[in-house]
Amino acid sequence: MILVVAEQRDGKLNRASWEAIAAAQQLAGGATPIKIAVAGQALSGVTAELSAAAVTEVIAVDDAALGVYTPDGFVQALQQLIASVSPAVVLFAHTYQTRDFSATLASRLDRALVTDVTAIRSVNGATAYARPMFQGKLVADVVPQGPAPHLVTIQIGAFRADAVGKGAAAAPVSAASVTIDTAAIRQKPEAPFQEAKQAVDLSQAERIVSVGRGIKTQENIAVAEQLAKAFGAELAASRPICDNGWLPMERQIGSSGQTVAPKLYVALGISGAIQHLVGMKGSRTIVAINKDADAPIFEVADYGIQGDLFELAPALIAELQKS
Partner 1 sequence: MERETLEVDVLIVGGGPSGLSAALRLAQLQKQQGGEPLSIAVVEKAREAGAHSLSGALLDPSTLRDLIPDFQAKGAPLAAEVHEDNIYFLTPQKKFRFPVTPPPFENHGNYIISLNQFTKWLAGQVEAEGIDLFMGFAAQHVLYDGHRVIGVRLGDRGIGKDFQPKAAFEPGADIHAKVTIFADGVRGHLTKQLTRQLNLDAESGPAQFAIGIKEVWEIPKDRLKPGTVIHTLGYPLKEEEFGGTWLYAMPEGRISIGLVAGLDYHDPLFDPHAAFQHFKLHPFIKGILEGGQLMRYGAKALPEGGWNTQPKLFVDGGLIVGDAANFVNSMRLKGIHLAMRSGMLAGAAAFDAVRAGDTSAAFLSRYKAAVDESVIKTELYPVRNVHQAFGAGLIAGSAFAGFTMATGGHLLQDLPGHAGHKQMRTLAQYYGLQKRDVITGSNAAPFDRKITFDKVTGAHYSGTHHEEDQPVHLLVQTDVCHSICGDEYGYPCVRFCPANVYEMVDNGTGGKRLQINASNCVHCKTCDIMDPYAVITWVPPEGGDGPQYDGM
Burial category of 319 from C-beta neighbours within 10 Å (exposed 0-12, middle 13-18, buried 19 and up) = exposed
Q: Report which secondary-structure segment, H or E, holds 305.
A: strand 303-306
* DSSP helix/strand/coil, 140: strand
Contact residues: partner 1, CB under 8 A: 134-135, 137, 193, 216-217, 239-240, 242-243, 249, 252, 255-256, 273-275, 278, 296
**How many whole angstroms separate alpha carbon 178 and alpha carbon 44?**
17
To partner 1, the closest distance from the beta carbon of 100 in angstroms equals 16
**How many whole angstroms separate alpha carbon 38 and alpha carbon 49?**
11
Closer by beta carbon to partner 1, 137 or else 322: 137
Beta bridge partners of 211: 237, 268
Closer by beta carbon to partner 1, 162 or else 195: 195
| CA 253, 255, 256, 257 torsion-angle sign | positive
Closer by beta carbon to partner 1, 17 or else 252: 252
Closer by beta carbon to partner 1, 176 or else 200: 200
Q: What are phi and psi of 79, to 5 degrees?
A: -60, -45
Asked if residues 141 and 267 have their Cβ atoms less than 8 Å apart, the reply is no
To partner 1, the closest distance from the beta carbon of 21 in angstroms equals 32
Closer by beta carbon to partner 1, 206 or else 243: 243
To partner 1, the closest distance from the beta carbon of 137 in angstroms equals 6
Q: What are phi and psi of 114, to 5 degrees?
A: -115, 125
To partner 1, the closest distance from the beta carbon of 183 in angstroms equals 28
To partner 1, the closest distance from the beta carbon of 188 in angstroms equals 16
